[in-house]
Amino acid sequence: MFADRAKVFLKSGKGGDGHVSFRRELYVPAGGPDGGDGGKGGDIIFEIDDGLNTLVDFRQVRKYVAKNGEPGGKKRCHGANGKDLVIKVPEGTVIKDFESGQVIADMSGKNRREVILKGGRGGLGNMHYATSTMQAPKYAQPGQDSQELWVTLELKVIADVGLVGFPNVGKSTLLSRVSNARPKIANYHFTTLDPHLGVVDLDDGAGFVMADIPGLIEGASDGVGLGHDFLRHIERTKVLIHVVDAASTEGRDPLEDICAINKELRSYNEDLMSRPQVIAANKMDAVFDQECDSLDRIRREFEPQGIKVYPISAVSGKGVRELLYGVYDLLKGLNSEPVVFAREFDMSRLNMGMNLPFTVERNDDGEYVVEGPRIEKMLGYTNLESEKGFVFFQNFLKDSGVLEELEKAGIQEGDTVRMYGLVFDYYK
């Protein structure tokens, strides 16, 4: 089963918490702090697997979560790092943020392995907070939170040349004649529902990869039919072969067909129209009039635009060799590297506020109530009775944006702040 699109949930591992402990050994009455650091959370990593050619596995598993880091231990023991989660995908897979549709990574070309979400850093143990004035710190740093994201995976085939055109104009027949591909061929619309790739071998070791893009229809750029599913696979191609039924065997005007498909390509992605294009006027074996009016009309319309027209018969093979070498000459003048989409999504957006989800509300007594799981955890780690511990907690609130949110809520000096049973007076 071919699948070229999937939506999955990703979550990296949380960092392990730092540990609070003190060295306690015989004849060592004041051993000092020896709490170890927490381990780093596991990363979410995407990697190309050349043995894959579909995203069908992602229809069975839609949630991918890396392992958390282990908390630190006594005697300066470092917590174990969480195991990274490596997700295998076929080459050509584009990873996009689900909400914005922006590209996070394109698994193509030289980009064979990409860290998408980083695991949280492990928290520092209390051994790091000992100073000459604070020799027994009773607090440690919590591990950094994980990152999570819904993403869309899109498989865009990697081919040098794309065959485009209306259904049933002979694209699959042409691909099967010139390459090792064997797409299903029949005389009805939408025989091809999946893109097919074939390697075209020319003389002297020359050649290129050709893709048969399923038949387009008018309105495809607006998602009519399977428009977006089809058009997605054209984006990487460098040269387009526009296959048209020059014999009008189904009663359509070939000139109007070409204009209609080009309109859909332009509406979907304006950049597609800037790529080299040739026209394969197919089914010439079905033309019994030696003076083919439709072929002359196509040439008069498009050859002045620099678009070469090749009369061919995909069934008999007549004119196909000239078409292939004409396309190869175009490819030689283009960059040989595959088309790779640049990153658009700003990954730093995931870090904004991820360390400390919290709420700030004012209760009926006029107190400002601050709550959040990381605040509660930090209070459990911190010795607020010591000056050093209180300063540490103040810096934590400042760095996490809590003080800024209190000011936005209208807090004034002398107002009361309540956090999980602890009450403070607010002063700058």
Instruction: Write the pLDDT tens digit of every residue in 315-373.
Output: 888 999 999 999 999 998 887 777 788 888 877 667 544 445 678 888 888 888 888 87
220 has a pLDDT exceeding 50: no
Give the pLDDT band of residue 230 (cuts 50, 70, 90): low
Phi then psi dihedrals of residue 359, to 5 deg = -125, 145
* pLDDT for 192 beyond 70: no
> In angstroms, rounded to a whole number, what is the distance separating the alpha carbons of residues 223 and 258?
19
Handedness of CA 195, 197, 198, 202 (dihedral sign): positive
Which stretches does DSSP call E strand in 156-291?
161-164, 196-201, 207-212, 239-245, 277-282
Structure-model confidence comparison of residues 256 and 192, the more confident one: 256
Residue 260: both structure tokens together: 């209609």
What pLDDT, on the 0 to 100 scale, is given for residue 224? 41
**Mean of per-residue pLDDT scores for the chain:** 81
Task: Give the span between the Cα atoms of 102 and 389, in whole angstroms.
Answer: 43
pTM metric for this prediction? 0.68
**CA angle, 23 as apex, 21 and 28 as ends, to 5°?**
155
